[in-house]
A and B are shown apart, each in its own frame.
Chain A
Amino acid sequence: QKEVEQNSGPLSVPEGAIASLNCTYSDRGSQSFFWYRQYSGKSPELIMFIYSNGDKEDGRFTAQLNKASQYVSLLIRDSQPSDSATYLCAVMNTGFQKLVFGTGTRLLVSP
């Protein structure tokens, strides 16, 4: 079992729709959770992080965390073609500056 699992996609949504990206993790010691966006040929860009159970909203993005189910998700509202990228889920254990990444979900937003 991989430590962090994501559906590789592609996830295709029309412009203006809500994109829902999901991630599960195996290590119950994971304490912090991150979503990165990576455009082709570029480095990962941090878009959201969450530490506590529940929802965290930032603009069009909402991160959701359920530690009991070991599940974290990212919702992108009003999706734009510029949101087309690979979204990487990453988790970190307490006290360790080591991010464990999933393989990423490719999102395609069509005009």
Chain B
Amino acid sequence: KAGVTQTPRYLIKTRGQQVTLSCSPISGHRSVSWYQQTPGQGLQFLFEYFSETQRNKGNFPGRFSGRQFSNSRSEMNVSTLELGDSALYLCASSLGVSYNEQFFGPGTRLTVL
């Protein structure tokens, strides 16, 4: 079974720009969660989508948004990029039922200049 895929793997943007990241979950998984990983803050939860609905949201500003499509693929958008948004963005796939483990994709490394 194919794993979680994320595109693009690397991005370089400048402040003020916006960016869209994509995640395709494991086949049959309906939940996609997004995380930000930085050396200073570690792994932090952004939001989770299940059946095209956002079920959970972390403590990030409204510049961070996402959506999920009917095929469970998900996108994350960051508008008005700031230097502090430079991070590894990870998506995780799961069945979406309580207690189900999450499997991470390879991540998208975003650098904001």
Contacts and interface: CB of A to CB of B under 8 A. Distances in A.
A99 B98 CA distance: 12
Nearest to A90: B43
Interface stretch (B61-69, B77-85, B101-109): B101-109
Nearest to A102: B42
Nearest to A94: B98
A95 interface: yes
Nearest to B95: A97
B104 A44 contact: yes
Interface string A18-36: 0000000000000110101
Interface string A69-111: 0000000000000000000101010111111111110000000
Interface in B82-113: 88, 90, 92, 94, 96, 98-107
A99 B110 CA distance: 22
B48 A97 contact: yes
Contacts of A36: 104
A101 B35 CA distance: 10
A45 interface: yes
A99 B88 CA distance: 16
Interface string B44-57: 11001010000110
A48 B82 CA distance: 36
Contacts, number: 61
A43 B42 CA distance: 12
Nearest to B90: A43
A45 B107 CA distance: 12
Interface in B29-50: 31, 33, 35, 42-45, 48, 50
Contacts of B104: 36, 43-46
Contacts of B56: 96-98
5 contacts: A43-B105, A46-B103, A92-B99, A96-B48, A102-B42
